[in-house]
Each structure stands twice: as structure tokens, then as C-alpha cells.
Amino acid sequence: MDKVLITGGCGFIGRALTAELLDAGYDVRVFDSLVEQVHEAGAPELPAQVEVQTGDMRDAAAVKKALDGVNGVFHLAAEVGVGQSMYEITRYVGANELGTAVLLEAMIDRPIRRIVVASSMSIYGEGRYVDASGASYNNIRRKARDIAAGQWELHDAQGLPLRPMATDEEKQPDLASIYALNKYAQERASLIFGDTYETDAVALRLFNVFGPGQALSNPYTGVLANFASRIASGERPTIFEDGQQQRDFVHVRDVARAFRLAFEKPEAAGHAINIGSGQAYSIERVARILAEAMGKPDLRPEIMRKARAGDIRNCFADISKARELLGYQPRYRLEDTVGELADWVATQTVIDRGAEMRRHLEQRGLVK
């Protein structure tokens, strides 16, 4: 039986991965710092057979202890939040980049056969686009003056609209936030380590993960959890820009299965792989679907018509590589499982901090 370590294992994805690995017969150890912003209610309850160690990823002694006796690592520990990363820069770089460096250094000379690291779709910046002639645009950004004028979509040099396409792993990264920079550093450091030492490495570029168990009181978590917090509190979901920006939403159980497959499939070694649903959803549509599922269809989203620093317009996943290398196929569509999320939210005590998040961003000039 493989004994594996999950860093950040008390988090939303970490708990789902723990369940997936236990079902598959793995012996699981969890390492987590239990950051208050995420774990306001304290440590979550995990199955009795799971060994839990607490500590900071930057603490070399604690990380070395967590690695004792394991032969596989799932590295999920990270500070998460595009907006927050733009002003709590030291915190994000320290936890995400330095924490990963401490982990990799501690792995040298240990019999660990594979590390699977959580990367992010945020590294792409804007996704792929094509123009009316079919020509591809793989590294394009919106201009600040266009955003200020409320021109949200991307256009070619002649001012004609570009059409968003599914983004594959060959798309050149374009790092638009400190968080994106952190995730790319985590990914590349892990893959470089795998090339250098006798440890396979795989990076999973996660798109927007949703499902029961997200931290509803953390305003920098996933957009669906933010919407759920607002709706449960009787408030309208807040949406930046015009609400027509498109994202890919993937269920946490699909993500957990993808991590297990990335650990088990020999052909995945050395690769960065998209994990999403392969579907594109407008943010406004998602807010309306969730409000309906939560029995509050009249709480129509508040469209801000303002842009947030570090945000991109469109990005959704091409998952062909995940299908080929992992045998991955998403099983839980947003439309079919949002009711499950709504039922779970109804059992939770929710503190909506969406307005607090907006205030923090606006005070620093990060919403325009």
C-alpha cells in the first residue's frame, strides 16, 4: 500500500482527495497550517485512519517530519485568491513559492516516487481566441483604456471581435496576477525537480473547482462559494464587468479523481495537464443557476460594470490531454450537481464577507 502526503489536506480539495485515496486503498497523511481565513471554525473532521500533522510549509523541520515514511506527495497547500494576492504579496509569495521550495528541498534523497502539484488555469491569463478568418491569438491582453471605457471583450487590430476558444496546454502562459505567478512558480519548480531527481512530477492546472465543502466565509475562495454566501445571506451576488465573461467549472470529486489518476498513470510524468469540465459558462448564468437552486431566483446578480485588477475575460479548458494521459472524463456537470451544493449550503452557518472584499480591493485602487 502506498503511503502518501497531502499538503493542504484539510482544505476543500484536500478533503475530497483524501476520500478518493482512502477509497482506493491508500494510507493518507495530511499536513496543513489551518489558516484562519479558510478554517475559521477550526480543523475539519477527517476519517479516523488519516494521520493529521499541522505546521507551516516554510518550516523545514515540520515538512521533513511530514515526509517521513511516505512515497508519494500531493502538493495542494497554497494561499488562494487573485485579488488578495495583489496586495498581500509577501504572504502569497512566502506561502506559495517559498513553501514549495522548502518541500522540494526536503524531498531530496527521499524515496518519493511521484509528486502531483496543484497548478491553476490563472497562469494562462486570457485563454485562446480566433478572429473571423480563423487565425489564432494565443497571447493577447485587454488594454486598460478599453476596460476603463467598458469595452470588456477582446478585439483584433481592426477592432473586430475575437471569439474565445478552449485553451490547451500549449498556450503560452501570461501571468496577470501575483497568484498566477505563484502557481506557475510552484508548477515549474516541481517539474524541474522531477527532471533532476528520481521523482516523477505532474502538474494539474485546475480550472474553477466547486462543490460542497468550500469555505463559504472566505471571500477569496471560488466564485460559486462567494455567490452562495451572498445568496444565503439574502444578498445579490456581485459580478464584476458585465457578467458575460466565461469560465470552466469542474466538480471537486472530478478533481480528486484526476489527482489520483495523475499519481497512478506512468505516462503523466513530466506533464502539465488541464483539469476542467471542458464546458464554458458565463458568470451571470452561473449566478442565476445557483440562485434558482437555492430557492431565491429573485436575487438577481448585481452587475458592477467595474473591472478587478488581475482578472481576465475568458478562459475555459481543452481537456484532450487529460483524456489521453489520465483517462480522465468529468462525471459531474454543474447543471446536474448545483442542487447538491445548494442543499449543503443550507446546512451551514454563513458569514458573507463579499462587501468586505470589495472594500479592501477598492481602497487599494484594484477595482476600476
Q: Which amino acid is at 61?
A: A
**C-alpha–C-alpha distance, residues 15 and 20, integer Å:** 9
List % helix, strand, coil for the chain (3-state, nearest 5): 35, 20, 45
Annotate 154-180 with b (16+ C-beta within 10 A) or e (fewer).
Answer: bbbeeeeebebbbbbbebebbbbbbbb
Catalytic residue among 26, 92, 124, 179: 179
Q: Where are the beta strands (DSSP E) in the chain?
A: 3-7, 27-32, 51-54, 72-75, 114-120, 128-130, 136-137, 163-165, 200-206, 208-210, 238-239, 246-247, 249-251, 272-275, 281-282, 302-303, 314-315
Q: How far apart are CA 358 and CA 80, in angstroms?
A: 16
Is 179 part of the annotated catalytic residue set?
A: yes
Q: Which residues are catalytic?
A: 179
